[in-house]
Amino acid sequence: MVTENTIEQYLQDLNISYERLEDRLWRTGFRGDVKDIDMQIRLTDSVLIVISPFVNAPRKNRAGIYKRLLELNMDIMLAKFGIDSEGDVYLMTEVLAETLGVEQFEQAVMSVASLHDQYYGQIVALMYSPLEEETEGDGLEPEE
């Protein structure tokens, strides 16, 4: 059974610096090729969740950005992009905690860091792309 002590031991074994934020929640980060990558690791009863803030809610070209993120979700294995209630974009992965070994833990953490590095520039470029100008009522507002 994976415990909080197990996760902290994995972090130490992999020489990953971390800060414990609360029970079952840690913060870590990496220096990426483009920017620093912040990451949180949460242990639940059934899964380990590794989540990284990716970009703030896009103000321009939201439809194009969200479309590209959905395409990436289809192509990327073991990780996914998501948005919160404010439209901020996150990159995350979930791994079953019951049999989590150090290798799976490392793969989860490093895949989020690697994918963040790989796709960040592409998504930011879409945020500033003049190709798809936003129009009033882009169809992405929640229905009332």
Domain boundaries, the chain: 4-127
Q: What is the 3-state secondary structure (H, E, C) of the chain?
A: CCCHHHHHHHHHHCCCCCEEEECCEEEEEEECCCCEEEEEEEECCCEEEEEEEEECCCCCCHHHHHHHHHHHHHHCCCCEEEECCCCCEEEEEEEECCCCCHHHHHHHHHHHHHHHHHHHHHHHHHHCCCCCCCCCCCCCCCCC
Q: Which CATH number fits domain 4-127: 3.30.1460.10, 3.10.20.80, 3.90.550.10, 3.30.750.24?
A: 3.30.1460.10
Ranking 82-86, 88-92, 139-143 by mean pLDDT, the lowest is: 139-143
Mean pLDDT (the chain) is 90
CB of 72 closer than 8 Å to CB of 130:
no
Q: In the chain, what is the straight-line distance between the N-terminal and C-terminal CA atoms, in Å?
A: 44
At residue 1, the pLDDT reads 82
Q: Between 99 and 109, whose confidence is greater?
A: 109
- Asked whether residue 142 carries a pLDDT value surpassing 60, the answer given is no
Q: How far is 33 from 27, CA to CA, in rounded Å?
A: 20
At residue 37, the pLDDT reads 96
- Asked whether residue 136 carries a pLDDT value surpassing 70, the answer given is no
pLDDT digits (tens, 9 = 90+) for 29-50: 999 888 999 999 999 999 999 9
At residue 139, the pLDDT reads 55
Q: Between 136 and 83, whose confidence is greater?
A: 83
- Asked whether residue 134 carries a pLDDT value surpassing 50, the answer given is no
pTM equals 0.85
Q: How far is 115 from 37, CA to CA, in rounded Å?
A: 11
| Per-residue tokens: 110 | 């490093």
